[in-house]
Structure 1
Amino acid sequence: MEFSHIPVLLNECLEGLAIDPTGIYLDGTAGGGGHSSQIARRLTTGRLVSLDQDPDAIEAAGKALEGLPATLVQTNFCNARSALYGLGIEKINGALLDLGVSSHQLDDASRGFSYRQDAPLDMRMSQSGPTAADLVNTASREELARILREYGEEPYAWAIAGRIVQRREETPFVTTLQLADAIASALPPAVRRKDKNPARRSFQALRIAVNSELDVLSQGMDEIFDLLVPGGRFAIITFHSLEDRLVKNKFRQWATACTCPPEYPVCVCGGKAKGKLITRKPIEATAAELEENRRSRSAKLRVIEKLGD
């Protein structure tokens, strides 16, 4: 299946990064190369390094970046430092993360991300390591309920986890629709009638768990921010509240000078802010973009600029 990905909030990202044509930039989530190719086109003597853990994305981005000043590396963005050091790069002028699951990953049924199409229950972005099937067939009810509650904000987490455990004792889960059916069957009839996609939150939660997305994001943000030169910009697009909360809190932490407890009458920590918020509130898609690309509806862009010492 052809890898397709319409870059979300493209112009807003390019503006937020304030690209220096001679600078070195990092796209930690190459996807189909949509954002990467537009960043690279704005470089003269500069260079773009584009990362992705998905081999399909690397292949597609390679075509999109052909003839442009860009280098592709297949790895997760939490390994940005080692990827850049391997290319002889110690500092960067800007970085972008687009945390959305690509259109290709959702639309290619064989990848197992969709609760609408039957396929092997996979959900691995890197196409390596334990699958979603491994997780739902082995985790305890308590662990499954925690994942659904924390990562999917699923109010019926305990009931769904119980139904998963019950069903897998009869037949292990192998496909996406087996799991979607089990999830739906655990919900009250009124909820099933009201929610046309009753498995959506649970599938999101399992995808986050399978790919350790929140841990990877926290670690990757720290590593990438550290690599920025003073004045360098870091832009991140999120697609659900858990990611956005993590990014917002991390950015706020970097942009805060004093870390003294609020009850202290005067500052004693002598702290210094590491960054300046470029976006006080997240940037969202315009009406025109929403019409063109429905997957932009939950996208939020936040940008921070690193301050000097």
Structure 2
Amino acid sequence: MSYPRHLTESCGLPVFDFPTPEDAETTPLPPADAVAWRISCDSYDSEESWTEAFARFTAAVDTTLVRAIVVGSWEEAYETGPEEIIGALLDARPRLPALRGLFLGDMESEQCEISWITQGDIGPLLEGFPELVEFGVRGGSGLVFPAVTHRTLRSLTVETGGMPAESVRGVAGSDLPALEHLDLWLGTSNYGGDAAITDVAPILDGDRLPRLRHLGLRNSDIQDEIATAVASAPVVARLETLDLSMGVLTEQGGAALLAGQPLTHLKKLDLHHNYLGAALLERFQEVLGATGVTLELNRGHADEDDYDGRIWRYVAVGE
């Protein structure tokens, strides 16, 4: 099992933690437009709410220059959604004219396991900040991602241990003409990841994604079905990088991917954390590696268990 880590960069800027009340007087602040600002409070027994930390932030920083905000942990995120946080961000819109990057839920496992993070409806954020170029969210529990139209968004990331099918359909049904980078962690049914291959079909068709150059459909327990569909997907021809890593990719899906449309135009193919045998991994090297495609292939299977005569395989990030 792997665990998501804190963001280190957003909108091309290094992430800087806005100091706690205890550290505020001794921590010098960088220029407002030089960093992506991570604003957090304690997940457990917090003496300051996230909205109170945000109020301190807006009082201490020239918000008219802020280019990126990373929403870190909030109080009791394991049972409390981000509705008040979303409301505070929307209320602050007039003071954030330069905001181009926003990430909601940047928590590590010590703060809140990814499957425990309580999310909500992120549609108002995308509608309320029409000039965003990067948006990301972590956590699938309670996540609502409606179909939206956003003209400037270039990068969209949704990291979950289980992404609800309705939200997958929302992303797939969105009009995102500027989107270049799409990364979805679909997760496992054990944690609410109930999407079927038909739910991602509009993404693979690519009709609403004319500028897409990076596609990540990963961390899924239907990775074989995804790889098989990708093998003939129209969107692949315009991609530079393809990421099908972190999921339950077996010989069936790997063989289908190799037998499908040529992938030699890719700059990179990422299949790390897989259940492919040595012979098939070598075949990927022969067919793609030899043509200059950068390959991410783990040698040896990802973790699996043999219990009661059945092999159990796992996505990289679940709980």
* TM-score, normalised by the number of residues in structure 2: 0.30
Q: Name the one with the larger strand percent.
A: 2
Q: Name the one with the larger helix percent.
A: 1
Higher relative contact order (CA 8 A, sep 6+): 1
